[in-house]
Chains A and B, each alone.
Chain A
């Protein structure tokens, strides 16, 4: 019973880790992409449709990643190419992704596919207490690994340093000769791929079917998670498990007739985020602060 609950919490946190880690890289480079929900939905519907048609999970996964990337490219074209307002463009992307995924997915509602298999044999996952950690699928382990790689990249490599520099002061970065727009393009596309993968995880693993708007706000929770984690990759993993636990508690509580209103539980991630924001703005080291050029468009002259 407890094992099942822990397993569900871990699985719920996987798409949050993936989407938030991608968004963290985007925000660290100075761009806020509020279109996370839209990109995840596009990833989800493409992954489901291609898996259903081709019968191959790998094809489905790749389709999810690619369509997240393509949706992000639309965003990049507007905010980097045309220097549009990032908040408005991001919101528009979410609306666009929600609508288009519903249209594409209308033929696939009610159809079922085979989900992702677990990695380890049942003998391992049936072990008491620790067995649950061996009961996950490949993407779940991958998500932790990616988060670790992103940390290495951002804080141990020169390219990561350049990326963070672009988010702190694009004018300074430009003065030192770095190509701010190229850096931001790469981050946005990476963020899109991660969101697409996060979206793909939903119909391929979490609930092996497609329904319209099936992300049900996970994109927004992932956005809050980036702030909650104060732009640090490792904290995204802890935060995602915490937020995942809150989401599951809400469902479990409803099933058991708890007296805590589910609306309150579903607002907890956001309350926690505001709490963290207050904490880091009152004190806290420079490392954990928001990138100072976040949402400011960069226009270069030569």
Chain B
């Protein structure tokens, strides 16, 4: 197995963005003709790493070796000259250009159009990927678009093909087709770096896999020798310690009742929500786990009222009121708080001052506003309260939201919701990209709120976070929500497998 020569070697490769270390001394190698998996949760640093291999990011430290020789990959053109091709997770195609024009753009050499058309047809026949060269990209399905992405890499006769989460947008059938193309390609001697968080795929298609967690290599394994459970455990880590004990009394009062929630997909990249049912009791925190892109943002929009429907949702009651048709504003009046995932531009307006951001969710408060006149003094007082109570560190008095660091802005928006003492709170990724201190602070604040009897739904990709916060956990996979289970009955391996699409089908058959 390991008699094959090494093609690409990564030695101590690190990448930091400001004080955030996205990749920490990555060491592993890819052999010639090997399909090598790169496994990790979202935010583990997989994409950062491959962007450095493709010359889109510059490593802060470390060296790449190509066939044993030290190389510096400054630009994608240079990567392509070495024979490195990349298929991006978010396609880099141009919808209003034709297939042939898109392919021309990724070739370093200048081809005559008719010559290129012949070459495309020859290559697509060789690998069984049929695409009409003269069609516009926007007229193709997502699976077909990916074929164009792959085809344009194949035309460069790559020695290493990087596939960044290639199956995340494909149907199971399209994935099967992709796998057979990749197998055929590796038989011709091309190495493939296959990035995924889906355990089954890694098991199925790769010979070896390197597991990343929080920017570090956990291990490189021969995939035939490990079980999916072992892979899951390496990917998500062990069960962590609880931040602060929950003391909320068990209550039977149901605050939120959702049943038969469906939402069709708005565009090819959206996920349809499929018959979601969920109840939240007073004092309870429900954790919704899952890998990004399985319907989290769609679900959050339904919870906040940014997307509403009385036709495709059977029941959506909060505090006994049918809120299916309630705007976000009306929902706030009812005592519901929201915290969307994206703090820049979604939960906060970054070009506004903190007082103005406070006003945005508090303008119905009679202390702040009377007869449509804002009482600036009280608004400032409330803002200062949030800043003091939630330990928001500001560079100066009342700055713009954009001048706060990610963690501090997140503490501010969390505080802004919690200080209103909502009876129900919906949050997505409350500690995404936030440093450890602020993370602990935010989680404790959420637990305090639940202890006061608030019902909370936390949508998060961070399993550690859900283990610290949630009473019950369910997993969102391809728009379906698994049954919610008490924390005690679940291990991180089990959830990791549900997140990777394992078991879910056999489980749902049981009901």
Binding site for B on A (CB under 8 A): 158, 161-162, 164-165, 168-169, 171-178, 285-287, 289, 291-292, 302
Q: Is B374 an interface residue (CB 8 A)?
A: no
| A165, B97: Cβ atoms closer than 8 Å | yes
Nearest B residue (CB) for A158: B110
| B93, A172: Cβ atoms closer than 8 Å | yes
Interface size class on chain B is 20 to 34
Nearest B residue (CB) for A291: B96
Q: Is B76 an interface residue (CB 8 A)?
A: yes
Q: Given the complex of chains A and B, what is the CA–CA distance between A165 and B136 in angstroms?
A: 13
Select one of B75, B96, B104, B139 contacting A161, CB under 8 A. Answer: B104
| A164, B97: Cβ atoms closer than 8 Å | yes
| B96, A172: Cβ atoms closer than 8 Å | no
Residue interface mask B29-66, A partner, CB < 8 A = 1: 00000000000000000000000000111100000000
**What are the residues of chain B within 8 A of A165 when measuring CB–CB?**
94, 97, 105
**What are the residues of chain A within 8 A of B101 when measuring CB–CB?**
161
Q: Is B88 an interface residue (CB 8 A)?
A: yes
Select one of A161, A287, A292 contacting B105, CB under 8 A. Answer: A161
| B136, A285: Cβ atoms closer than 8 Å | yes
Q: Given the complex of chains A and B, what is the CA–CA distance between A24 and B76 in angstroms?
A: 29
Q: Given the complex of chains A and B, what is the CA–CA distance between A11 and B139 in angstroms?
A: 42
Q: Is the interface of B mostly helix, strand, loop or mixed?
A: loop
| B57, A169: Cβ atoms closer than 8 Å | no
Residue interface mask B385-404, A partner, CB < 8 A = 1: 00000000000000000000
Nearest B residue (CB) for A162: B105
Which residues of B from 80 to 128 have beta carbons under 8 Å from A? 80, 88, 91-97, 101, 104-106, 110
Q: Is B77 an interface residue (CB 8 A)?
A: yes
**What are the residues of chain B within 8 A of A178 when measuring CB–CB?**
105
Q: Is B375 an interface residue (CB 8 A)?
A: no
**What are the residues of chain A within 8 A of B249 when measuring CB–CB?**
none
Q: A285-B136, A302-B58 are contacts. A177–B96 as well, Cβ < 8 Å? A: no
Binding site for A on B (CB under 8 A): 55-58, 75-77, 79-80, 88, 91-97, 101, 104-106, 110, 136, 138-139
Nearest B residue (CB) for A166: B94
**What are the residues of chain A within 8 A of B136 when measuring CB–CB?**
285-286
| A169, B56: Cβ atoms closer than 8 Å | no
A selection of 14 A-B contacts at a CB cut-off of 8 Å is A161-B101, A164-B97, A165-B105, A168-B95, A169-B93, A172-B91, A172-B92, A173-B105, A175-B92, A176-B92, A177-B77, A285-B136, A286-B138, A286-B139
Nearest A residue (CB) for B55: A177
**What are the residues of chain A within 8 A of B97 when measuring CB–CB?**
161, 164-165, 168, 286
Q: A164-B97, A286-B96 are contacts. A176–B106 as well, Cβ < 8 Å? A: yes
Q: Given the complex of chains A and B, what is the CA–CA distance between A164 and B76 in angstroms?
A: 19
Q: A176-B76, A177-B77, A286-B136 are contacts. A168–B58 as well, Cβ < 8 Å? A: no
**What are the residues of chain B within 8 A of A302 when measuring CB–CB?**
57-58
Select one of B56, B80, B104, B138 contacting A175, CB under 8 A. Answer: B56
| B77, A158: Cβ atoms closer than 8 Å | no
| A292, B95: Cβ atoms closer than 8 Å | yes
Nearest B residue (CB) for A172: B92
Q: Given the complex of chains A and B, what is the CA–CA distance between A164 and B136 in angstroms?
A: 14
Select one of B57, B92, B95, B106 contacting A286, CB under 8 A. Answer: B95
Nearest B residue (CB) for A157: B110
| A289, B57: Cβ atoms closer than 8 Å | no
| B93, A177: Cβ atoms closer than 8 Å | no
Q: Given the complex of chains A and B, what is the CA–CA distance between A258 and B88 in angstroms?
A: 62
| A176, B96: Cβ atoms closer than 8 Å | no
**What are the residues of chain B within 8 A of A171 when measuring CB–CB?**
92
| A287, B96: Cβ atoms closer than 8 Å | yes
Q: How far is the CB of B488 from chain A (nearest CB, A)?
A: 44
Q: How far is the CB of A153 from chain B (nearest CB, A)?
A: 14
**What are the residues of chain A within 8 A of B88 when measuring CB–CB?**
175
Nearest B residue (CB) for A178: B105
**What are the residues of chain A within 8 A of B56 when measuring CB–CB?**
174-175, 177
Select one of B77, B96, B110 contacting A292, CB under 8 A. Answer: B96
**What are the residues of chain A within 8 A of B105 when measuring CB–CB?**
161-162, 165, 173, 176, 178
Q: Given the complex of chains A and B, what is the CA–CA distance between A161 and B97 in angstroms?
A: 9
Q: How far is the CB of B93 from chain A (nearest CB, A)?
A: 7
Q: Given the complex of chains A and B, what is the CA–CA distance between A165 and B138 in angstroms?
A: 14
Q: Given the complex of chains A and B, what is the CA–CA distance between A171 and B88 in angstroms?
A: 12
Q: Given the complex of chains A and B, what is the CA–CA distance between A287 and B91 in angstroms?
A: 20
Q: A161-B101, A172-B92, A286-B136 are contacts. A177–B75 as well, Cβ < 8 Å? A: yes
**What are the residues of chain A within 8 A of B76 when measuring CB–CB?**
175-177
**What are the residues of chain B within 8 A of A174 when measuring CB–CB?**
56
**What are the residues of chain A within 8 A of B96 when measuring CB–CB?**
168, 286-287, 289, 291-292
Q: How far is the CB of A10 from chain B (nearest CB, A)?
A: 33
Q: Given the complex of chains A and B, what is the CA–CA distance between A178 and B96 in angstroms?
A: 18
Q: How far is the CB of B61 from chain A (nearest CB, A)?
A: 15
Q: Given the complex of chains A and B, what is the CA–CA distance between A118 and B136 in angstroms?
A: 45
Q: Given the complex of chains A and B, what is the CA–CA distance between A178 and B55 in angstroms?
A: 12
**What are the residues of chain A within 8 A of B77 when measuring CB–CB?**
177
**What are the residues of chain A within 8 A of B75 when measuring CB–CB?**
177
**What are the residues of chain A within 8 A of B94 when measuring CB–CB?**
164-165, 168-169, 172-173
**What are the residues of chain A within 8 A of B92 when measuring CB–CB?**
169, 171-172, 175-176
Most chain-B CB neighbours within 10 Å: which of A171, A286, A287, A302? A286
Nearest B residue (CB) for A290: B96
Q: How far is the CB of A9 from chain B (nearest CB, A)?
A: 34
**What are the residues of chain A within 8 A of B57 when measuring CB–CB?**
302
Q: Given contact pairs A165-B97, A169-B93, enumerate 17 new A-B contacts (beta carbons under 8 Å).
A: A158-B110, A161-B97, A168-B97, A169-B95, A171-B92, A172-B91, A172-B92, A175-B56, A176-B92, A176-B106, A177-B56, A177-B76, A177-B77, A177-B80, A286-B95, A286-B139, A292-B96
**What are the residues of chain B within 8 A of A292 when measuring CB–CB?**
95-96
Q: How far is the CB of B148 from chain A (nearest CB, A)?
A: 12
**What are the residues of chain B within 8 A of A291 when measuring CB–CB?**
96
Q: Given the complex of chains A and B, what is the CA–CA distance between A175 and B79 in angstroms?
A: 12
Most chain-A CB neighbours within 10 Å: which of B75, B91, B92, B139? B92
**What are the residues of chain A within 8 A of B79 when measuring CB–CB?**
177
**What are the residues of chain B within 8 A of A168 when measuring CB–CB?**
94-97
Q: How far is the CB of B434 from chain A (nearest CB, A)?
A: 20
**What are the residues of chain B within 8 A of A173 when measuring CB–CB?**
94, 105
Nearest B residue (CB) for A159: B110
Q: How far is the CB of A79 from chain B (nearest CB, A)?
A: 18
